[in-house]
Structure 1
């Protein structure tokens, strides 16, 4: 549906029948105004997703990157399985880290429960620079059952799609396989500190961590001095 055919957000919000016990007229007016903004946000997210899907073809991969997983060596092309789209999440867990990043861990713990559903449509893999045994042991410790975990032993993939060869930084990368079998880069998140607003902890939009989405609906929000911990 075109944007011209949509009813104004304020009109939709005003038609909402929601009312809650003992709410004041001021609360209802403010909530209705907020609902109009939430409708606009929903529409903007849909517009951005459409713009993302319309990206021109990305660069063809220069080599079939090699990884190490639970079943031994594998390649980027093999990670697709029978799908034509592959999501790769780069976990902050390099050899220099004693433990994986708590923020990445919290996000992946949420994804683990969704992985089986996601993989009905696309392939999903988690990659880190630590040795495979270390990564797999960490996954077992966290109780992950559905995520497919891999090591990037050479750092070639990390160097091309995350940063430096030993970059200790998260990354979200999507690849697409063409009908002729060629693999192209489709999309990467680019929400680093360079594009953060003043005083903002850098994060992607939309945020892919359900933790923050839920906290954004609470009175205290995300807070400025709280992050997930591995010992919680």
Structure 2
């Protein structure tokens, strides 16, 4: 039973007690904004509940394949990607050897994550894996001015295939997976499973919360993220 001390107050009561006001706002605006604030509080609580449910997952499948990658310093094993951490976060970048240029959406996401990588790696190990040769990955890293992203090439595509970053027809997919190392074994902990099959009508496939800071910012604007604009590798002018 939840103790009185931990009992959550009504989101509506919290919103009304907020007290924030902006210059020249109307009463209609404040009523609508307080109603929205209550929903935002409930959303925050839902996010926390989902995160707690994720943390409580039973052990996932053991990683028994000896995956190998190419990094900036040469060949590296999957286990070595953990470094001195017991948790490994892996993002699969849509940049296969047949692509002339990488996926613009993935690139936008990784450009934002490049600045966060040093902070992320204080808590967990982090790796960005793609099928393109390591030389092409590093060349593009220099082109974009990335400083911190740890890039690896999955030249055999074995890892990409097993963890849903490569379709049965040979097409790249973005993939986000978390692995844990405990008691001498490496196991899959969680993977992003929201995609085309789980998308709602009229919406692009996306996870929840959305991994892209770009969309988080645009969702706070009057026109939102829109339905006909996507990030590009280069912008004219």
* Alpha carbons 2:179, 2:189 under 8 Å: kept: yes
Q: Structure 2 unaligned runs (5+)? A: none
Residue of structure 1 aligned with 2:95, choices 83, 90, 93: 93
**What does 1:81-120 correspond to in 2, within 5 Å?**
81-120=83-122
* Alpha carbons 1:159, 1:167 under 8 Å: kept: no
More divergent stretch after superposition (58-67 vs 26-35): 58-67
Q: Which residue of 1 aligns with 2:179?
A: 175
Q: CA deviation at 1:181?
A: 2.0
Inter-partner Cα distance in structure 2 for 1:195 and 1:139: 32
Q: Which residue of 2 aligns with 1:69?
A: 71
Q: CA deviation at 1:212?
A: 0.2
| Secondary structure of the structure 2 residue equivalent to 1:193 | coil
TM-score by length of 2: 0.95
Q: CA deviation at 1:195?
A: 0.2
Q: Which residue of 1 aligns with 2:38?
A: 36
Q: CA deviation at 1:164?
A: 3.3
Inter-partner Cα distance in structure 2 for 1:110 and 1:2: 39
Inter-partner Cα distance in structure 2 for 1:64 and 1:226: 41
Report the count of equivalent residues: 231
Q: Which residue of 2 aligns with 1:223?
A: 226
Q: Structure 1 unaligned runs (5+)? A: none
Q: CA deviation at 1:173?
A: 0.5
TM-score by length of 1: 0.97
Q: CA deviation at 1:167?
A: 3.5
**RMSD value, Cα:** 1.4
* CA-to-aligned-CA distance 1:159-199 (integer Å, 9 cap, x gap): 10024374411000100001x22100000001110000011
